[in-house]
Structure 1
Amino acid sequence: MRTASCSCGQLRIEVDGEPLGIGVCHCLACQRRTGSVFAALASFAPPYRVHGQATEYVRAGDHGSRFRFCFCPVCGTTVFHTEEGCEARSVSVAIGAFADPAFPPPRASVYDRRRHPWVSLPPGVDAFDEDPP
């Protein structure tokens, strides 16, 4: 089991098993959402357990999918998100919310065409100009 939490600890998510996927997203929406130059995410299969209260923000992706981002109403940290209609398949958790420097590296990089030129990817990462459908 792994636990990810917001900065103040009010919102937490517990996930089981190894990640289904680990990636970074360089789209402009993720850059704005995180306040960083990319988002780093790990997806996990259910079941997962959420503790605390979350405020939600829903955003449409480029291919029409709707993503529900859950963040702490106290400190504002985004902790996880789901894709509407796919909640039974996976949850995506912000890697930084695990606060684990030993967390495995990303395997994929999406919206690589938006990657800042000074950001280097680890060897072996599959890079996609956009988000593959």
Structure 2
Amino acid sequence: MNRKAECCCGQLSIEVYGEPYLHSICHCNDCKKRTGSAFGISSYFKKDEVVAKSGKSGEYSFFHEEKNHEQSRHFCPSCGTTLYWYVSSYPELIGIAGGCFVEQSLGEPKYSISHGGKLPWVKINESIENNA
């Protein structure tokens, strides 16, 4: 099954094949800032499962101190949505913002990453594996 994720304005998109290698909620401060929310939904696919990318993206890179790795993020220069990224600790994977798969939802995440940073009012289904 092919799935397409796109930014808010639709200018930037990425299409992947299959199911995510890793589908999680992340409570680290960086993901909170990236999304402007209580957590981020991060879906990682193998790079060879990317079918197509379209549109123009801006890019910024930084060192993620909490996770101890480099990240390179691609965002829409028109609406600002961070759509996909690369992480040095997962060189064979591409991360995609899980909430941007609007038409073909990825379903419930399997992991809660940086679970220690979860805000007290956020409730996580007991079937989701916690990772400190």
Instruction: Mark yes or no: TM-score above 0.5.
Output: yes
TM-score by length of 1: 0.88
Which letter does structure 2 place at the counterpart of 1:68?
S
Percent sequence identity over aligned pairs: 32
Contact 1:25 1:111 survives alignment (8 Å): yes
User: Aligned partners of 2:43 and 2:108: how far apart in 1?
Assistant: 10
Could you say what the CA RMSD is over the residues aligned between the two structures, in angstroms? Answer: 1.6
Alignment of structure 1 residues 42-81 onto 2, 5 Å: 42-47=43-48, 48=50, 49-61=52-64, 62-81=66-85
User: What secondary structure does 1:118 align onto?
Assistant: coil
Structure 1 consecutive aligned stretches of length 4 or more whose deviation exceeds 4 Å:
none
User: Aligned partners of 1:52 and 1:99: how far apart in 2?
Assistant: 18
Contact 2:4 2:104 survives alignment (8 Å): no
The equivalent position to 1:83 in structure 2, one of 77, 80, 87, is: 87
Which letter does structure 2 place at the counterpart of 1:6?
C
User: Aligned partners of 2:79 and 2:119: how far apart in 1?
Assistant: 27
**Corresponding residue pairs, total:** 128
Which letter does structure 2 place at the counterpart of 1:78?
T
User: Aligned partners of 1:95 and 1:85: how far apart in 2?
Assistant: 19
Contact 1:105 1:122 survives alignment (8 Å): no
Measured after TM superposition, the shift of residue 101 of structure 1 is: 7.3
The equivalent position to 1:98 in structure 2, one of 84, 97, 101, is: 101
What's 1:107 paired with? 110
Which letter does structure 2 place at the counterpart of 1:35?
G
What's 1:20 paired with? 21
Unaligned runs of 5+ in 2: none
User: Aligned partners of 1:106 and 1:64: how far apart in 2?
Assistant: 23
User: What secondary structure does 1:58 align onto?
Assistant: strand
Unaligned runs of 5+ in 1: none
What's 1:6 paired with? 7
TM-score by length of 2: 0.88
Measured after TM superposition, the shift of residue 54 of structure 1 is: 0.8
